[in-house]
């Protein structure tokens, strides 16, 4: 992350926001309220809210990131970006009387330690409307293997700076999602060996349910 202390800047956000928006547009046409977890700089919030004016984009992050997010939101002055919320997945606050139609999170699960990844999914169940969507963008491993050499190197770098972090196994993350009653709708290949995972809330998990549809699954 670069930029001024007032307005942080992530070059990666500028690169990935277009491809992510394409996926979001396909799923959020009827959404009214979307919660973003781990908004980071706030660049995604501004871009997605400006591009999808029919919905309210609720940014959130740990409290130390809120000033930067506010700077981006204030600079854009969009009508559909409420003030960012303090949200640490270890302590999900009571966010709203009305549940969210969708939750979005980019590049967070490989930053969080595994107990926080578990807390992320536990919290989703408390804020997502019935039939609501969860969209998660980032790198994932499949069948215990890296999907590229660049992801292997990225994982090594992540673990060198925080041994609790690291690229997550798709299957382990999907198991958490299923435990919260979410069913995989899509797994979209994104540039730079990232994925967009899309789940839909289907009620409490049961065994023996039918497999999710998935258009572009990794091997």
Ligand X SMILES: C[S@@+](CC[C@H](N)C(=O)[O-])C[C@H]1O[C@@H](n2cnc3c(N)ncnc32)[C@H](O)[C@@H]1O
| Binding footprint of ligand X on the chain (CB under 6 A) | 10, 13, 37-40, 44, 61-62, 65, 87-90, 106-108, 111-112, 116
At 71, which helix (H) or strand (E)? helix 66-76
Report the alpha-carbon angle 106-158-2, nearest 5: 60
Smallest distance from ligand X to CB 159, Å: 15
Contact indicator for 47, 19 with CB cutoff of 8 Å:
no
Indicate the residue among 139 and 212 with the shorter CB distance to ligand X.
139
Smallest distance from ligand X to CB 161, Å: 12
Indicate the residue among 91 and 210 with the shorter CB distance to ligand X.
91
Smallest distance from ligand X to CB 217, Å: 23
Indicate the residue among 88 and 169 with the shorter CB distance to ligand X.
88
Contact indicator for 108, 90 with CB cutoff of 8 Å:
no
Smallest distance from ligand X to CB 125, Å: 16
Smallest distance from ligand X to CB 48, Å: 11
Indicate the residue among 126 and 209 with the shorter CB distance to ligand X.
126
Give residue for tokens 């600079």: 75
d(CA 35, CA 103): 5
Indicate the residue among 89 and 212 with the shorter CB distance to ligand X.
89
Torsion angle, alpha carbons of 66, 68, 74, 79, to 10: -50
Q: Who's near 89: CB < 8 A, 6+ residues apart?
A: 37, 112, 116, 119, 120, 123
């Amino acid at each position: 992350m670069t930029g001024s202390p007032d307005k942080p800047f992530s070059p990666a956000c500028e690169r990935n926001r277009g491809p992510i928006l394409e996926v979001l547009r396909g799923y959020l046409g009827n959404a009214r309220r979307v919660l973003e977890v781990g908004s980071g700089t706030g660049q995604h919030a501004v871009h997605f809210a400006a591009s999808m004016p029919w919905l309210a984009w609720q940014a959130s992050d740990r409290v130390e990131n809120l000033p930067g997010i506010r700077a981006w939101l204030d600079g854009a002055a969009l009508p559909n970006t409420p003030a960012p919320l303090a949200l640490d997945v270890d302590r999900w606050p009571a966010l709203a009387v009305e549940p969210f139609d969708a939750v979005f999170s980019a590049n967070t699960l490989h930053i969080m330690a595994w107990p926080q990844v578990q807390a992320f999914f536990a919290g989703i169940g408390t804020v997502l409307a019935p039939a609501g969507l969860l969209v998660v963008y980032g790198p994932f491993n499949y069948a215990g293997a890296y999907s590229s050499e660049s992801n292997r190197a990225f994982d090594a770098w992540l673990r060198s700076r925080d041994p609790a972090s690291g690229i997550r196994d798709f299957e382990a993350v999907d198991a958490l999602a299923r435990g919260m009653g979410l069913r995989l709708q899509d797994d979209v290949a994104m540039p730079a060996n990232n994925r967009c995972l899309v789940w839909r809330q289907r009620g409490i998990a049961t065994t023996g349910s039918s497999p999710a549809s998935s258009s572009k699954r990794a091997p």
